[in-house]
């Protein structure tokens, strides 16, 4: 149990010191990526991202932090994990935690917010 608590505190400390880079807005919500978390494996990149909404949704969610994987060459993306929060910038009470998106890989259409996020993660 002590190891789990120590690990959880390390993760919390990391996100408290994340350097979020704004990558765009859509419908009043702001998207961010933490460039320090990008990992490279061949043509894929994984990164932690955040969606910050001006007002809470019907479930009380004000922000989301999620881990994405991008296939830079194939122009595809998939969600690996998602956490929802009651306050802005992934702060406050954690409301839910989800694992990998069951839909798997999805094509990224040019000119969309997914395309902007893919380019930020892939360095293009």
110 part of a folded domain: yes
* Domain CATH number, residue 74: 2.40.128.710
Q: Which of 62, 77, 65, 78 is nearest to 28 (CA)?
A: 62
94 part of a folded domain: yes
10 part of a folded domain: no
13 part of a folded domain: no
Between CA 45 and CA 33 the distance in angstroms is: 12
29 part of a folded domain: yes
103 part of a folded domain: yes
Confidence of residue 57 (pLDDT cuts 50, 70, 90): very high
pLDDT in tens, 74-111: 999 999 999 999 999 999 999 999 999 999 999 999 99
46 part of a folded domain: yes
11 has a pLDDT exceeding 70: no
Split into its structural domains, the chain has a count of: 1
8 part of a folded domain: no
């Amino acid at each position: 149990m002590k190891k789990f608590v120590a690990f959880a505190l390390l993760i919390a400390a990391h996100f408290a010191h994340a350097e979020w880079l704004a990558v765009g807005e859509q419908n009043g919500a702001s998207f961010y990526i933490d460039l320090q978390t990008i990992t490279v494996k061949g043509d894929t990149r994984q990164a932690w991202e955040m969606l910050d909404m001006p007002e809470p949704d019907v479930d009380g969610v004000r922000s989301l932090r999620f881990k994405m994987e991008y296939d830079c060459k194939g122009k595809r993306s998939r969600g690996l994990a998602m956490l929802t929060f009651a306050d802005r910038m992934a702060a406050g009470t954690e409301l839910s935690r989800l694992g990998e998106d069951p839909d798997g890989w999805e094509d990224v259409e040019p000119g969309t917010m997914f395309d902007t996020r893919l380019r930020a993660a892939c360095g293009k």
